[in-house]
Amino acid sequence: MLKNIIAAAALCSVLPAFAAGPNLIMDYSFESVNVPAGQYADFTGTQLPGWTATSGSIEVRNSLVGTAQDGNNFVELDSTANSSMATTFDSVAGQLYTLSFYYSGRPASVASNPGFPGGVVPSSSQGLAFSVGSFSDSLFAPTNTTSDNIWQQYTGTFLGTGGLMTLAFAATGTSDSYGASLDNVSVTTTAVPEPMPLAMMGFGLLGLVGLRKRLRGN
Question: Mind listing the pLDDT tens digit for each residue in 131-144?
Answer: 999 999 999 999 99
- pTM of full prediction above 0.85: no
Domain 21-198: which topology?
Jelly Rolls (2.60.120)
| Mean pLDDT to the nearest integer, 7-33 | 71
pLDDT at 18: 53
pLDDT at 197: 54
d(CA 3, CA 86): 53
What residue segments make up the domains of the chain, in order of their start? 21-198
Query: pLDDT grade, residue 218 (50/70/90)?
Result: low
Using the predicted structure, report yes or no on whether residue 102 has a pLDDT greater than 50.
yes
Using the predicted structure, report yes or no on whether residue 112 has a pLDDT greater than 80.
yes
Query: pLDDT grade, residue 128 (50/70/90)?
Result: very high
Number of other CB atoms surrounding residue 28 within 10 Å: 21
Q: Percent of the chain at pLDDT above 90? A: 76
Using the predicted structure, report yes or no on whether residue 12 has a pLDDT greater than 80.
no
- Asked if 78 contacts 115 with a C-beta cutoff of 8 angstroms, the reply is no
DSSP reduced 3-state for 115 = coil
pLDDT at 190: 77
| Mean pLDDT to the nearest integer, 149-157 | 97
d(CA 19, CA 95): 14
Higher pLDDT, 77 or 194: 77
Contacts of 79 (CB under 8 A, 6+ apart): 42, 56, 57, 58, 59, 177, 179
Contacts of 59 (CB under 8 A, 6+ apart): 40, 41, 42, 43, 75, 76, 77, 78, 79
| Mean pLDDT to the nearest integer, 162-180 | 96
d(CA 47, CA 52): 7
